[in-house]
Chains A and B, each alone.
Chain A
């Protein structure tokens, strides 16, 4: 029997799967439950709701329970770390040694990575319980998780709706209680957009803060792994775990990171949030407008000041993104050719034909579209007009933000222009689909950290998210502001009825 849960505040005793990692860590520490019990609770929940949600591509209950038993041994031996024994879902684009990693694609449908991604190694070292790989848009190309070869993931708040994408599976799992926390990746909004649509908390850290080693590349200069959770306390724990320099990733930045949990209780009075007029002039949805203005009042109640500002090149963000990301993708995805691993066409005449058939059969339409866009834009004679110009716009957007941060501590805006839309609504209209990311893409273009937190609900009861954007490597500031907001509000405590 599944009942809607309103969290702990109403005095209801939650099931283990409903709790946050922070709460479960305390339960594990005080031996009120074991990691095996927690994992079983989550697996049981998956049994009940996965048929409606389809959050996972591959579930590994047996290896999850093995990890849980190992975690319990660690806890018993006094070797527990903050997230030991906590079940986590990882997006299907992070390599887990020996466990199928498909990137939501037919072309990798049978691919077993021979190595662990750096983040997976960190999860293992921490003693976390990896449940399986979560559904995603094919090669992270999409905003709805509809382009997955394995079929769409459904929004737990209304299963007729998309959960957002591309990390839709990771986010839906956390929202539906099919995982306590999750890892996603964000190239143009792929963590923040679904977090917004599913009423959970997700952050895209600064580019270079989390190792990309083992993350199947979509657009290398934009991709970034980030955590997804039900509240910002859990997010802080995960940031502590995954932020850090990795010598295996040349774009990883060697620096020290603070203890993010120390920022959960810091006051925010006196801080300034910037309101970029280019974002707000785009707001057409009354629900989003209402949620934004209510959230603003909450912050004002915390003595946070607001300042109007301008990010003049924001309007070119999507156009430039849809040059740079496909260019990189066209090269990154060239390796899927049927020679070494993954899908290979069965019938072919010669090498070129094998390449053509393998790729024609293995990739879905959105991936093909982006490969073609990128191949075209990089072609001889077009490079300067497209790639180079897009790279210049990127630099301009970055300096726009830099100027903005002279006036404010963080930029405040919506995460998405509307709440979640229907499955099938935009899948045949790529431009409309691309526009969903209008508020999130500029953050990737500038390499900044951006957080999406639940801000409220539409009149129809759908979650609506807020976005806060901070200067490079100021994730702690986002944790601080979000924690203050979540202390004043209960949007993040609401759970979907399934």
Chain B
């Protein structure tokens, strides 16, 4: 391919503060339309904004996690445009002086780790929602979302493929969730992404004409939208056409993009410093305080799992992709100190139940405590590894404790030598021909005898004990 894509992403993340960015209304999702509003977020005449300090702290948290330089002084600016979901007809945002600049996030899109530059992270307020009537030419405005704090994270145009874009988004998503500052829900719009994309001949240093893509509300759709757009732009250039600078809307059902507005129709936002809010100071003391409180981030955690716990890199990646999963793993390891065994169980048995979606761990019916109990029961021989898998399925289905399931279903492992010796004796007595063949060198038949013992004990026999008694008994019979 003689072209390469140049992609920059703008990510909007809703902050998980209890109250809105500039008033004390709750940010709870799902309330009656316009019930979480007050004169301030309704844009009544005469109201004034007062910054929610928590939103600022959350922003600084993200900025530090993304290796940004925190500006000691930043400013809020007004972004002026008319839309009914924006009651003041300007959005309080930041323009010339954002909270943070010059950071990076590490990604791995399958070709080894790479840093994507972050131009800036700034704070702003969310707009409301328009609800359009199906039948009449009427629209309604719900201002519950109006004024919820957002951060916008702007990347450098350093992303080269849709896969890298997706990896970058996943990295930001995971950091936000680790920091507990965003719930990361893409369907509800807590985590949204716009993309700027252009293409150019490989080796060219100048940028081509870009388009801005909107409405890609999942990681997959970001990839689809970018793939489509890169192909569209390539086809244009190949056929001697030009790419027009415009904003395009992704259509998830078609997998295509369509023009929304041209450069000429682009808004002039007439940014200027918001006179209602003082310049914002984030001093070194506050930065240090927030830095100290930062949790271990996904990349650090992954490296520690590989280095200290001996977890294979791929597994470590899965275990750290969501904060909840990592916490689940670590809690289980605290209770059962065999990280590899815990990791194996999560990667196979638990992930099978979660159908590959690690975020489902939030509602997992098996607690770390219960999983650790099960692994202990395997470890001390109470139940066999094979039976344990059945027990786990039961635990996942019912939420019951492993020992209760084992007792209830009579799944205790039989390790008693006398009991097993009697069963083994009977198996050998019942199969004299096979014993003969085995003793004359067909040792593979040992597996057959073990199988017969397991059948007789309905899988509960302790395999190690069975093997021991079986070889002793066969030795005895060969001497006869």
Contact = CB atoms under 8 A, between A and B. Distances in A.
Contacts of B436: none
Interface of A: 93-95, 101, 103, 108, 111, 113-115, 117, 212-217, 219-221, 247-251, 327-328, 330-331, 334-337, 339-341, 351, 355, 375, 378-380, 383, 387
Contact of B43 (A250, A327, A335, A378): A335
A219 B74 CA distance: 22
A121 to B, nearest CB: 13
B419 interface: no
B48 A339 contact: no
Contact of A334 (B47, B50, B82, B275): B82
Contacts of A101: 45
A251 B89 contact: no
Given A250-B276, A250-B277, A351-B84, A331 B78 contact: yes
Given A334-B88, A341-B45, 18 more contacts: A103-B45, A113-B44, A114-B44, A213-B46, A216-B45, A217-B276, A250-B50, A250-B276, A328-B275, A334-B80, A335-B89, A337-B89, A339-B84, A339-B87, A351-B139, A355-B82, A378-B270, A380-B268
Contacts of B268: 379-380
B45 A331 contact: no
A224 B80 CA distance: 24
Given A213-B46, A220-B275, A114 B39 contact: yes
A212 B48 contact: yes
Contact of A341 (B44, B51, B275): B44
Given A250-B278, A328-B275, A351-B84, A115 B44 contact: yes
A95 B39 CA distance: 11
Given A331-B90, A340-B87, A380-B268, A113 B45 contact: yes
- Among B43, B47, B268, chain A packs the most CB atoms within 10 A around the CB of B47
Contacts of A337: 82, 84, 89
A327 B272 contact: yes
B17 interface: no
B413 interface: no
Given A334-B80, A334-B88, A378-B80, A249 B48 contact: yes
A426 B78 CA distance: 34
A216 B46 contact: yes
Given A251-B278, A328-B275, A375-B270, A340 B42 contact: yes
A141 B49 CA distance: 23
B44 A251 contact: no
Given A351-B84, A375-B270, A379-B270, A111 B275 contact: no
A197 B68 CA distance: 57
A179 to B, nearest CB: 21
A126 to B, nearest CB: 20
A249 B277 CA distance: 9
A238 to B, nearest CB: 20
B276 A339 contact: no
30 contacts: A93-B46, A95-B46, A101-B45, A113-B44, A114-B44, A213-B48, A216-B45, A216-B46, A220-B276, A248-B48, A248-B50, A249-B48, A250-B277, A250-B278, A251-B276, A251-B277, A327-B272, A328-B272, A331-B78, A331-B270, A337-B89, A339-B141, A340-B43, A341-B44, A341-B45, A355-B82, A375-B270, A378-B270, A380-B270, A383-B271
A334 B89 contact: yes
Contacts of A247: 50
Contacts of A93: 46
Given A327-B272, A331-B270, A334-B80, A115 B39 contact: yes
A303 B48 CA distance: 45
